[in-house]
Chain A
Amino acid sequence: MSVLNANPTVYDVSSLPTRHQKRNNDFMLKNEDLSLYKLCLNDIDTSNDLMIKNTQYALEVQKKDLSDNDTSSVEELSSEESYYDDDDEEEEEIDSLEIYDLIASISDPEHPLSLAALGVVNLGDITINYYDESKKGIAEVVVKITPTINHCSLATLIGLGIRVRLERCLPPRFRIVILLKEGSHQSENQVNKQLNDKERISAACENGQLLSVISTMLSTCV
């Protein structure tokens, strides 16, 4: 298979934000791998910017969490919101850093690198919108992805991989919205529509071949 973007920008995974104690090192490149993915010197500035931005964002989020915890304790799920089949386990509030940690280590389908290392997923591009004030009901997780190149034909596959990962890990009350970052792709609207069509996604998830590609992508997740 020919590589679409043979020369992507690569970020140093160890400096990306995370709530995990220790960054899983699966994606730390060995020296011999590095020769395959020549880092463009020009890109280093942007990569540093992004790194700093992400780290600052993470710190802010954590600070906010701390202050939240000071003032309020986690409320019980009201009986109204319990649903039929699933366990009514009390869940902690989920924030964007937690979402980021869930998807950062997904492998790119093309490069032996994580989506975080390639800058496809960025902490600042993850938002959680609550439908109700209690934040206990149905909520929306929006992940904007930035493909490495603007005609990346694998954007839908990457989006689907992220969706499958989040659907498996998040409680069912979360609606997952995967979008391409504005201006990052030439068929932005088309890909966005496809990535958020419930019926198409369900059918795709019954396609054995596609699922096996996705499980390879997800095999590097912690």
Chain B
Amino acid sequence: MVANDKIKLVRTLRDHNNKVWSVATHQSLPLLATASADKTIIVYDLNNFNVITKLSETHQKSIRSVSWKPSSEFPCLAAGSFDSTMSIWAKTDENFEEYSDDDDIDDDGAQEGNSTNKQWSLMAIIEGHENEIKCVSWSADGNYLASCSRDKTVWIWETDEYNEEFECINVLQDYHSQDVKFIKWGPDQCLISASYDDTIKVFKEPSPGDDLTCVCDLNAHDGTVWAIDFEPMEVVGTKHWRFVSCSDDSSVKVWALTEENRSEELEDWQLQAKLPIKHKGSIYSVSWSANSGRIASVGSDGNLIIYKEIESGKWEIDSIKPLAHGVFDLNCVVWIKNIDESATTERLITGGDNGTVNIWEIEM
């Protein structure tokens, strides 16, 4: 039996006035960033959902994607826009070159009022792509930023600690035959791309410092692959890797790699599971929970669906929230990582075409 009342709406944020395309939470700070077709990014305090700042008047077109830099002395995010540029924002001293390591930044999110000497500033605008940027993602160590576009390429940028200088160190081209819709860095500096050409590709550095090369090419779906998410390291340990993908073909699939199928030049990712098909139409986003190991998916049918793994590689539907944003499409879903490991509930965030961001709570 699938319970439909397990997923409870905690809060609705109505600060955007057009489609919400992307939501992202900070790895260690209680910060949420949302990106919208209204050309703004809003940063929220995750503790009370107050608006910390609204970043606007920079992009000419929709902001499609937003990503927090995981390891940074101060909060820093990248945003990719349909105007083909990327913007980098950070909260710093007004004169950030005098920024001191002694400043306590851990509670910036929660204590905005106490840190009046700091402000959110535009650090850089990065140009390079020929047309719309679809997705941006930081590597786990924060050294690299990747961006992908309708121009079929993925660009890898190296950054400095001040987030002012970005140098393109590699352009991954001639891999995808169509738009690259989504990219995400995983463990071990591997990068996964998903495309309008229905494939997923895995890139790795053959040895540290080398350029990324394609180590796996998956004819993954019978339609555009819209997103992937890695199984969080909290859930898996280190000898086994998995990610989940979602597609226009209405399916959600889990892919697995074991140590024996892995070499420096080649990774033989295997389809491990097809999740129960419940969505109708395109599935735009998936997220894998670090708290419970559950997967959430959202799409054009308005459903928020949560799946749980009952035994290794065997999944069933845990719960469904229909019309999660009324009759509108849901574009993105992200689990919030619990700080308190004994928590009995966990939360997730969705963004929809109606311009709202919803916060949901569900029992573990």
A81 at the A/B interface (Cβ < 8 Å)?
yes
A173–B12 CB distance below 8 A: no
Q: How far is the CB of A174 from chain B (nearest CB, A)?
A: 9
Report the number of A-B residue pairs with Cβ-Cβ less than 8 Å.
Answer: 69
What sequence of 0s and 1s flags, for each residue 80-109 of chain A, a beta carbon within 8 Å of any chain B beta carbon?
111111100000000000000000000000
B134–A138 CB distance below 8 A: no
Q: Which one of B131, B282, B302 contacts A198 once the chains associate, using CB atoms below 8 Å?
A: B282
Q: How far is the CB of A93 from chain B (nearest CB, A)?
A: 15
Binds B, one of A9-17, A149-157, A199-207: A199-207
Q: How far is the CB of A144 from chain B (nearest CB, A)?
A: 17
Kindly name the residue among A140, A172, A206 whose own CB sees the greatest number of chain B CB atoms within 10 A: A206
A202–B354 CB distance below 8 A: no
B61 at the A/B interface (Cβ < 8 Å)?
yes
Known: A84-B326, A175-B281, A203-B132. A197 touches B62 (CB 8 A): no
Neighbouring B residues of A171 by C-beta, 8 Å: 327
A137–B323 CB distance below 8 A: yes
Q: Which one of A138, A193, A199, A200 contacts B327 once the chains associate, using CB atoms below 8 Å?
A: A138
B150–A172 CB distance below 8 A: no
B37 at the A/B interface (Cβ < 8 Å)?
yes
What sequence of 0s and 1s flags, for each residue 132-148 of chain B, a beta carbon within 8 Å of any chain A beta carbon?
10100000000000000
Complex: A206 Cα to B37 Cα, angstroms: 10
A131 at the A/B interface (Cβ < 8 Å)?
yes
Q: How far is the CB of B147 from chain A (nearest CB, A)?
A: 15
What size tier do the contact residues of chain A reach?
Answer: 20 to 34
Q: How far is the CB of B362 from chain A (nearest CB, A)?
A: 19
Known: A84-B356, A138-B327, A206-B62. A199 touches B302 (CB 8 A): no
B14–A172 CB distance below 8 A: no
A83–B224 CB distance below 8 A: no
B82–A85 CB distance below 8 A: no
Known: A81-B323, A81-B326, A82-B326. A203 touches B150 (CB 8 A): yes
Neighbouring B residues of A172 by C-beta, 8 Å: 326-328, 353-354
Chain B interface (Cβ < 8 Å from any Cβ of A): 12, 14, 19, 37, 61-62, 64, 82, 131-132, 134, 150, 179, 181, 196, 224, 280-282, 284, 300-302, 323, 325-329, 353-356
A-B contact pairs, 10 of them (CB 8 A): A80-B323, A83-B354, A85-B354, A85-B356, A172-B327, A193-B196, A199-B179, A203-B62, A206-B62, A206-B82
